[in-house]
Amino acid sequence: MCKPEPIRDHNGAADGAGKAPDVWHVLDVDSCMDTLKTSMRGLSSSQAQELLKVHGYNQLTEKKKKTLLERIWGQVNNVLVGILAVVAVVSAAKAATAKSTEDAITNWLEVALIVFVISLNAWIGIMQEGSAEKAANALKSMLSSDAEVVRDGVNTEIPANELVPGDIVVIKTGDRIPADIRMLETSNLACTEAALTGESLPVEKVIEALETNNPAEVPLGDRKNMAFSATLCSQGRGLGIVCCTGDNTQIGTINALVNNVEQKKTAVLEQIDNVSKVIACFVVLCGLITFFVAYFHVDQAPLDSVAIALVCAVAMIPEGLASIVSLTYAYAVSNMAKLNAIVRMLPAVETLGSVTVICSDKTGTLTKNEMTLTAFVTSEGRYQFNTDSTERVSSNFVRNDAFMAYKSGEDNKAPVQSVGSSPVANGQSPNTAYFQSAMACGVLCGNSKLGVNGGRDGEIGNPTELAIVRAAYFSGCDVDGMKTKSPTVAEVPFSSEYKFMATVHEPVAEIDGAGNDGEYVVYVKGAPDRMVAMCSHQFKGGIVGEENIEPVNTEYWNKQISILSSYGLRCLALCRTMVPKDSVKKGEQLKPDFVKGKGAWLTIVGLCAIMDPPRPECVDAIKVAHKAGIRVVMITGDHKDTALAIGEMLGLVDEKFNEAKTGPELDNMDDMQLRHAVMNYNVFARASPQNKIQIVEALQAEQQVCSMTGDGVNDAPALKKADMGVAMGKEGTDVAREASEMILADDNFATIVAAVREGRVVWDNLRKILFVNTPINNAQGLTVLFGMIFGMKDTLLTPIQVLYCNLICAVTLGFVLAVEPAEDGIMLHKPRKPGKRLIGRFLLLRILIATVTLVSLTVGASYLVRGVAGDNEDGKKYDLAQIRSQASNTLTFSAISVTMSARFSYLSSLHPRLFRGNPFMWYSLVPLVILQLMITYIPGLNSVLFGMGPMDWMQWVIVLVCMVITFLVMETEKSIRSSLKSQGSDTDDEKYDARFDN
């Protein structure tokens, strides 16, 4: 691989003229050859072998992968799992020393359940881990496998990974560039670099050195004498010298950035980790208190006291929380898949709901990544083309003389006055016959072929040419028929040197008019500034015919070129003339002088303005994002003017954000200037992969939750660095997809807005889940503790009951809330502030109220059965098994009441709406009730496994009363909270609170 400093000679010695990779584009051909000590005969085989030893193979370095054991350890290395492990060890010890078979079975079952819980949570965590290796593998798959080189003066094909700096490489149409190459010779050579630089058009290559005072500041897209590894040669041929290989190529830089980006946890996962730490402290505290109460107050033996304390600890550990969170994510992922948003990592769903800034690549994301004719300008008017139409009608072109009539950003725009009405007045559409003549030059002067039904599938040719042909096709023209009726007689091939192409054809009456016997029609298409200089006349209103020819208005055309260029549009002039048939031979390859050697002799028909247009749905999606308080920032490798023009069309450029910054400008900023820039500009042009990461990091430094969308290789590092990476599924590269957390299957930016809505639903539902599950866990542990405090020698809940409640009851009730539909107005709120925690002061208060209610009713009902109720109807005392049944069922059914109330944040659940909107409530509650009846009444299952006994009707009355009391308490709390909200209180915990937030 080519080392930046110093470059070594073929014997491994340092070369005194060592050049860093960022300077090759400013060196002339001879300097490059001298620096790399090679010639046009190429390296010798022996030199190549020596250089291979020095620089290594032309391949990307892989990042060290985590082993399975390292991943497992990462999931189990926390306090809560440690507590569960201790419980499992104690249970195993009790099972080994148990005096009865029944006690041994019960304790071994406890061990098995705990091991299952730990294994399940570890498996869920591993499945949710991102796969950075996949992004790196996708990058490697883009590299060329073979390369044609000149060695020992002979052209030969070698494996691309054996290329070394100094090799002379042959490039031709269709080749994947095998390394970073400085061009030595070019013949109409152009490379498609959109995936690397964001430039939507193929870049024409030159051999001249670039002049600049700071070589490193020249954007990749402007280094036109370089061809970059993994890009594609779209046309022409060339010869180049390998400058950099492997990790030192531009694609290698991206690979390093991808591998070095650390995977961030989502806000919710971080908060759940924090909640787990708080719970761990609370569990240890309650466990110690329970031990002391059991040992000193109830006079239990030391080992039994430890066992009781561990039951309390297990009860308060939310073993099922990871499962419920994963269920919440999985359901949201399922919903989003129906909307064409494919989530690769479940926790990423929630991040979408907190996004404050969406950073988006332009090409292929906000735009179609399809060069399209936008406007056709004639001597009397301008025609706006409907870039989104799928119908072939001439009305796709509408005369609109105000469309792009002034330079982009120009103030004091006077009303536009239409000139003439040829062929139609302002606001009307010409017929197809008009466009068949006016755009014949664009259709016939070229070698492009449209895809199926005018689309991209199967298309061949230059994107700019295809844009004109496609516009003619969708205006109703019979493109294939035109080519058949008017075949090419001779041509002047296009060259970037003279910037035009010309073809000679047999005239056709319906296109060229009658009376052209003995003449050929010459079509010339090219750079407008050069074409206008060669024109003596113009067709009035673009209507072809001798009667419509008038002297050319050079000033007018130059002004139109200037206006259209200000919008970043690529312009082509369509011109034509007639020549005698005896002046051209059929099949002749004409020289450029055939066109430019006759002075001003052409007649201009019009100007074609071409661009990669915005997706129409993106404009609406951006409006919705703005209403939801989300900024949209466009980052592109395109030129500043183009970026600003597209930004204005999308609604990103306005009075507040009216300018753009470029990548080189960002490179010269310090950290504070960069942070200021990202908060005050919505458009960034000529951005490199490093710039994109800089922008993301600066936004994150400003406490913004940043989403990055993109489709190219150059987006991959920023996609990984962002809080939420979103890649395109259709047009996107594998590299971008593997580096992202979410893929848009329809490449529709608007899908992100729908995904943001789902993300906000996830946040709301996670808060509801915590509101239900935390009191359930707290109530179990505190029921054991307060049962001992009030004199119970045995725990009110057994370890198996506790694990069952955590894994079955809590998960089942949590699932009801995990799939709860969005509440009204969810997209009218601004994104939650960065650093907001799931549990704020009001949610904490609600959790405390629910906990106190559940503990009071569970312990109270148990003691009512144990003491106050006295004898039952059979005259027998309720035994411990029945008391435990009372505790279990009271807690479970009261928790059902909390769940039903929690479905609606502010709306009353004492309403028919409770029975609508979420069918999963019934799918969850009915099985749960059946399970409760089974563990209460099935012999053996109740007594051996759960330590429970059958309940009588009086006990069920107590359960129902407790259930109603719980429901009324929670509805009363909701009513008071709703009243406080109407008075302006922050009952949703949206405002920053230093006591709860980061």
Catalytic residues: 361
Give the C-alpha separation, 499 to 47, whole Å. 41
Structure tokens at 591: 């020289």
Question: Is the bond preceding residue 950 a cis peptide, omega within 30 degrees?
Answer: no
Helix (H, G, I), strand (E, B) or coil at 191: strand
- Which ranges constitute the DSSP H helices of 21-67? 29-35, 45-55
Give the C-alpha separation, 860 to 865, whole Å. 9
Q: How many CB atoms lie within 10 A of CB 148?
A: 16
* DSSP output for 813-879: HHHHHHTPPPPTTTTSSPPPPTT--SS-HHHHHHHHHHHHHHHHHHHHHHHIIIIIT-S-TTS----
Tokens 């260029």, residue located: 565
Question: Residue 763 is inside which H or E element, if any?
Answer: helix 750-789
Structure tokens at 901: 């109330």
Residue 503's nearest CA partner among 376, 604, 593, 595 is: 595
Contact criterion met (CB below 8 Å) for 448 and 460: yes
Cα end-to-end distance, the chain, whole Å: 45
Residue 822's nearest CA partner among 340, 332, 255 is: 332
Q: What are phi and psi of 519, to 5 degrees?
A: -130, 155
Contacts with 747 (C-beta within 8 Å, 6 or more apart), sequence order: 364, 365, 711, 728, 729, 730, 731, 732
Instruction: Please calculate the CA angle 808-811-817 and round it to the nearest 5 degrees.
Output: 140
**Residue 32 amino acid letter:** C
Instruction: Please calculate the CA angle 320-325-330 and round it to the nearest 5 degrees.
Output: 120
Q: Which is it for the CA torsion 522, 528, 530, 535, positive or negative?
A: positive
Residue 230 φ/ψ region, left for φ over 0, alpha for ψ in the -120 to 50 degree band, beta for the rest: left
Residue 275's nearest CA partner among 855, 840, 986, 764 is: 840
**Residue 757 amino acid letter:** R
Contact criterion met (CB below 8 Å) for 525 and 445: yes
HEC-encoded secondary structure of 359-406? EEEHHHHHECCCCEEEEEECCCCEEEECCCCCCCCHHHEEECCCCCCC
Contacts with 299 (C-beta within 8 Å, 6 or more apart), sequence order: none
Structure tokens at 53: 């030893």
Question: Residue 884 is inside which H or E element, if any?
Answer: helix 880-902
Contact criterion met (CB below 8 Å) for 509 and 529: no
Give the C-alpha separation, 910 to 840, whole Å. 26
Give the C-alpha separation, 157 to 166, whole Å. 16
**Strand pairing class (742-744; 341-343):** antiparallel
Tokens 């719980």, residue located: 966
Instruction: Please calculate the CA angle 695-700-705 and round it to the nearest 5 degrees.
Output: 110
Give the C-alpha separation, 924 to 902, whole Å. 15
Contact criterion met (CB below 8 Å) for 732 and 364: yes
Give the C-alpha separation, 798 to 780, whole Å. 10
Contact criterion met (CB below 8 Å) for 444 and 563: no
